[in-house]
Amino acid sequence: MTYHCFEFFTRQEVERDWLISILSDYHFEGFEETSESLKGFVYADKITNDKVAEILADNEFSHIEFSSAAMENKNWNEEWEKNFEPVVIANRVAIRAPFHAPIAADYELIVEPKMSFGTGHHATTASVVELMLQEDFENKNVLDFGSGTGVLAILAEKLNARKVLAIDNEEWAYHNCVENVGRNNCSRITSVLGDESYVFTEAYDIILANINRNVILSNIARWKSLLNQNGILLVSGILLNDEKDVVAEAAKNHLSLKTIIRSNGWLAISFIPHDSKSV
């Protein structure tokens, strides 16, 4: 299938961050930043120039000019492999691809992203991993909402979660998660393909959501209803400017801020129900 490259011409880093956050909701599967612009990559049949212009206008970005062009067919996985390097988070969690040498760490995760989000390189994933290391996953029931590569679900099992449900609404992400779960020899993770209409049949001790502002704001009430009384909600993919909105929406749904990590313009936050006791 043919990819299109949309190039957004802005020298403002904060605008590029906003664009990444917004466009991730519209089937964009990868981004490349330069000092002059942001490039976004998407399947050609997923979005039109008119739709992109509408998205920019709706988010007060009409001043940002953009161009689009079809991309030559390549083995993008091969291109990615040329540039992907292992990453170590908090000196405890190592994330590497299958073709890298083993890394000594408390937790080693083997992930081949293909087109899925979640390698640990971006501040959003790294920060939520740091939050996870601060929590007790022992014998917990975990939901990874928007699982991408499955990297957070895999870490949850390695942190001794009792069972993990990893859900994503993109078929390629679902298959990628299944593959990565297998290559990490995980046995307590169930991967499912499902969107916001998916019917959950149980409550969770920990819910992970490394997605983006819009999905987080529209799902906080639902996640609160799925949390056990002493449960924890860990969210990431939030820009610094969105902190007040997310915290306010959480408070409206009887969730209190427990811990917050700020890194490179992004946030990861943990919330607990008002009647829970922070540990």
Integer-rounded Cα Rg, in Å, for the chain is: 18
**Mean pLDDT confidence for 243-250:** 95
Q: State both tokens at 86.
A: 């292992």
- Work out the average pLDDT over 30-55: 86
Do 95 and 151 touch, CB atoms closer than 8 A?
yes
Q: What is the mean pLDDT of residues 42-67?
A: 91
Residue type, 191: S
Query: Looking at the predicted structure, is the pLDDT value of residue 72 above 70?
Result: no
**207 vs 34 pLDDT, higher one:** 207
Angle at the Cα of 208 from the Cα atoms of 205 and 210, rounded to 5 degrees: 170
Residues in the chain, overall count: 279
- Please tell me which of 10-19, 27-36, 56-65 the model is most confident about, judged by mean pLDDT: 56-65
Mean pLDDT to the nearest integer, 148-163: 96
Range 3-73 has CATH code 3.90.120:
no
What percent of the chain is predicted at pLDDT more than 70? 89
In angstroms, rounded to a whole number, what is the distance separating the alpha carbons of residues 163 and 255?
Answer: 24
pLDDT reported for residue 54 = 94
Superfamily of domain 123-273: Vaccinia Virus protein VP39 (3.40.50.150)
Question: Percent of the chain scored above 90 by pLDDT?
Answer: 57
One DSSP character per residue, 117-178 reads: S--S-SHHHHHHHHHHHTS--TT-EEEEES-TTSHHHHHHHHTT-SEEEEEES-HHHHHHHH
More confident residue, 71 or 72: 71
- Domain regions of the chain by residue span: 3-73, 123-273
Range 199-209 average pLDDT? 96
**Residue 278 scores a pLDDT above 50:** no
Q: At 76, is the pLDDT very low, low, confident or very high (cuts 50, 70, 90)?
A: low
Please classify residue 240 by burial: count the beta carbons closer than 10 Å to its beta carbon, then call 0-12 exposed, 13-18 middle and 19+ buried: middle
pLDDT at 168: 92
pLDDT (0 to 100) of residue 82: 57
- Cβ neighbours, 10 Å, residue 12: 11
pLDDT at 190 over 70: yes
- Whether pLDDT at 279 is above 50: no
pLDDT classification of 212: cutoffs 50, 70, 90 = confident
Q: Does residue 150 have a pLDDT over 60?
A: yes
Distance of alpha carbon 27 from alpha carbon 203, whole angstroms: 29
The strand pairing partners of 208, in sequence order, are 144, 234
Q: Are 163 and 192 in contact (CB under 8 A)?
A: no
116, pLDDT greater than 80: no
Q: Average pLDDT over the chain, rounded to whole? A: 87
